[in-house]
Structure 1
Amino acid sequence: MVSREDVGSWLEGTPTGGENDRGGRLGLPPDGPGSLATVGRRVVALVIDWVLCLLISFLLFDENPMATLAVFALENLLLVSTLGYTIGHRVMGLQVRVLGGEGRMVGLWRGFVRTGLLCLLIPAVVWDGDGRGLHDKAAGTVIVRA
């Protein structure tokens, strides 16, 4: 019979030890460059990107909410696909990488999938045990510390 102690709880946090270390199942180091980005850094990067897109939208499109989302999507698609980071990611020292593809560009297809799901919001706030959003899982990407 399986007991509650065998399963654990989300209240206990991320499992520790060996392969279950944060990012260990993904082949990433537990800390330092190349390790999974923390939720705090990702949220601050998102806020930076959104504020910049809101400012651009206000200046060019008179604060149209859909225009802000379009500017945000365009920023994410172009910058992540080609450079591997948005402005907010760069400021926070983060980078989007292809999982298992050290040094490979994210590319337009992965960037499109990731951006489309990110703009739907739900996949971005649903994470797996490693802290990857569903948008990153679907695109085969991961956000790491640069």
Structure 2
Amino acid sequence: MPDAKPTTFGDLEPSRWPGERLGLPESGSRSVARVGRRIGALAIDWAAALLIAMLFAPYSTLEHSWATLGVFAVMQIVFIPTIGGSVGHRICGMHLVPISGGWIGLWRPLVRTLLLVIVVPALVWDSDQRGFHDKVAGTVLIRA
């Protein structure tokens, strides 16, 4: 019975490359963005949020920490639907797209960001290198 279709997710064959099951190429444009680019983009976004938060609260205070998190979240929610990703994503050559195609909309960046700021979903990845926050939002971060 080698031609039988899988009945559960655990029965699926492993992907040969991240994004294969999503119909994305193995490398180049529109392939799944790899971890190095993601970390670089996150560092750029967090650094920008740290600097902007200094306008609202003195550095090394609890208020500054919350302001940084708030600025980071606002940047994600505003820039994903308007420029296709955060400033860090765009600088690192990536953009965020819905797996169903079309415009990303407003709810996806909101849900994705709310999950991202609690950190844990970003640390849980599948074989397509999509974090839980991207799975819930129905998005994938791809190379531009």
Query: TM-score per shorter chain, which class?
Result: 0.7 to 0.9
Q: Write the distance in 2 (CA, Å) between the matches of 1:21 and 1:72.
A: 31
Counterpart in 1 of 2:36?
A: 40
Counterpart in 1 of 2:21?
A: 25
Q: Work out whether residues 84 and 105 of structure 1, in 8 Å CA contact, stay in contact via their aligned partners in 2.
A: no
Q: Work out whether residues 61 and 67 of structure 1, in 8 Å CA contact, stay in contact via their aligned partners in 2.
A: yes
Instruction: Trace 1:1-146 onto structure 2 (pairs within 5 A).
Output: 20-63=16-59, 64-101=64-101, 104-146=102-144
Q: Give the RMSD, CA atoms, in angstroms.
A: 1.2
CA shift, 1:106, in A, is: 1.2
Q: Write the distance in 1 (CA, Å) between the matches of 2:114 and 2:43.
A: 18
Q: Deviations over 1:53-91 (max 9, x none)?
A: 000001232231000000000000010122211110111
Q: Which amino acid aligns with 1:22?
A: P
| TM-score normalised according to structure 1 size | 0.83
Deviating 4+ runs (over 3 angstroms): none
Q: Deviations over 1:111-134 (max 9, x none)?
A: 110000000100011101111000
Higher helix share: 1
Q: Which range moved further: 45-54 or 60-69? A: 60-69
SS at match of 1:107: coil
Unpaired runs of 5+ in structure 1? 1-14
CA shift, 1:39, in A, is: 0.4
SS at match of 2:130: coil
CA shift, 1:144, in A, is: 0.2
Unpaired runs of 5+ in structure 2? 1-13
In the alignment of these two chains, the number of paired residues is 127
